[in-house]
Amino acid sequence: MYKYLLWTLKIGALVNIYFLLQTIVSPISSVDPYLLIPAQILFLVSAYRCLFPVNYSSYAVLHDNLFSSVFITRFFVTFVEISYIFMFSYVIRIINDHELLFVDIFSWLMVVQVSISQVFVWCAILTKNENLYFYEEIGWFNIFLLNFVCSVIILLTFIDFNNLEILLYLNLLFGIGYLPWQIFHLKSIKARINKLQNDSSGNYLRTTAFEGLKNSLNRRIVSHDPEDWGGIIGFTWMLNYFVTLIPVWVYFILYTFSIN
């Protein structure tokens, strides 16, 4: 069953390619490049991830080829995550228009936090210290909590939003859905770590950075086992991140600015 679910991600490649093509034609092509370029990076890499999904912790892949390696995927995703969170923070600053200093500060803290999360996930990959994935995900909770708080403050403070208030409402809607979900996600990561710690097979053993780098480049295990992909929470994460929620949200931001 999970094999077919993973194959459905292929549809997401078409969705992302469609969005990417829309960014090179008018009116979206004329949007502020600080919004446009992060979106283009996200669409391109999301299409890639739909075609070659991989799980960093278990090395589970759908296709056993170099494109599915943990290292290559994570290299691309590092640029994606920093750039699209910068995009979200930039939207906050545009709407804030430097009116509230602490809102601008909070928005920049989103970028700082996503950069810190990149350090955690790379260290987790290279050392196989599973606890670092947990700290990475706490960072994502903080990012969207800041996004939520900034949006609330602006909505309660401003009168004129330059016809961009829909983007603030989307921030709130996402926060209301994502923040509780992320708590369950964090609990699932903790449960996985506890299970690995009690596993006598040695799967929880730490590695040297060199060995971790070698594994991230070369180790791939073709698997359709839900547990290797994080179960239903893991698949929900992939579906929303690569195919539906995040790409559509990013595209809508571009569309909103293109008609504003």
- Our measurement of the distance from residue 56's CA atom to the centroid of its chain's CA atoms, rounded to an integer in Å, reads 14
DSSP per-residue string spanning 25-60: STTGGGS-HHHHHHHHHHHHHHHHHHHS-B-TTT-E
CA distance 18 to 7: 19
Q: Quote the pLDDT of residue 2.
A: 81
Residue recorded with tokens 């991830």? 49
pLDDT at 200: 53
Token digits for 160?
Answer: 């004129």
The pLDDT tens digits for 105-125 are 999 999 999 999 999 999 999
Assign 102 to helix, strand or coil: helix
- pLDDT below 50 — which residues of the chain? none
Instruction: Tell me 208's DSSP state.
Output: -
Share of the chain above pLDDT 90, in %: 81
Give the C-alpha separation, 239 to 151, whole Å.
25
Cβ atoms < 10 Å from Cβ of 230: 20
Hunting for tokens 């547990």 — which residue is that? 227
In terms of DSSP H, where are the helices of 128-244? 131-157, 165-197, 209-218, 231-238
Cα separation, 76 vs 42, in Å, equals 9
pLDDT at 162: 84
Whether residue 47 contacts residue 251, with contact meaning beta carbons closer than 8 Å, is answered with no
Of the CA atoms within 13 Å of residue 85, those in its CB half-sphere come to: 28
Would you state the pLDDT for residue 205?
A: 66
Distance of CA 52 to CAs 5, 49, 91, 199, 254, Å? 13, 5, 31, 28, 26
Q: Which of 70, 76, 66 is nearest to 44 (CA)?
A: 76
DSSP helix/strand/coil, 61: strand
Structure tokens at 98: 């430097």
Q: What local confidence, expressed as pLDDT, does residue 164 receive?
A: 93
- In Å, the largest CA–CA distance within the chain is 61
Output the pLDDT for position 208. 87
Question: Could you tell me which of 154, 136, 142 has the C-alpha nearest to residue 178?
Answer: 142
